[in-house]
Amino acid sequence: MNNKDWNCPIMVICKRTGRVYTVANTEEALDMLLNAWPVAEGRAFMMALQICADVERGQGQPPEARDSFLAAAMEAGVPIESPVIQ
């Protein structure tokens, strides 16, 4: 487990194919935002890109990246399954 792993992965559902992807760390979130996201615009999307990139560089914490990724998913209407972290 690296220091950028999330305590609780997020399951992202591709609307087009129905395939489920597991995003378990900041690197996977950044890759998905850059290469597989349905829209490349929006405030939450841009914030998620910045925060995830910052965390990958060691500036910021993984929970910030996870929260920003969730916000981008909600903004884009991307279906997700995410257990609540306690």
DSSP string, 15-40: TTT--EEEEEEHHHHHHHHHHT-S-S
pLDDT at 4: 77
pTM of the model: 0.88
Is residue 1's pLDDT more than 50?
Answer: no
Beta carbons of 29 and 23 less than 8 angstroms apart: yes
pLDDT tens figures, 7-64: 899 999 887 778 889 999 999 999 999 998 999 999 999 999 999 999 999 999 999 9
pLDDT at 82: 62
Whether the per-residue pLDDT at 2 is higher than 70: the answer is no
Residue with structure tokens 């920003």? 68
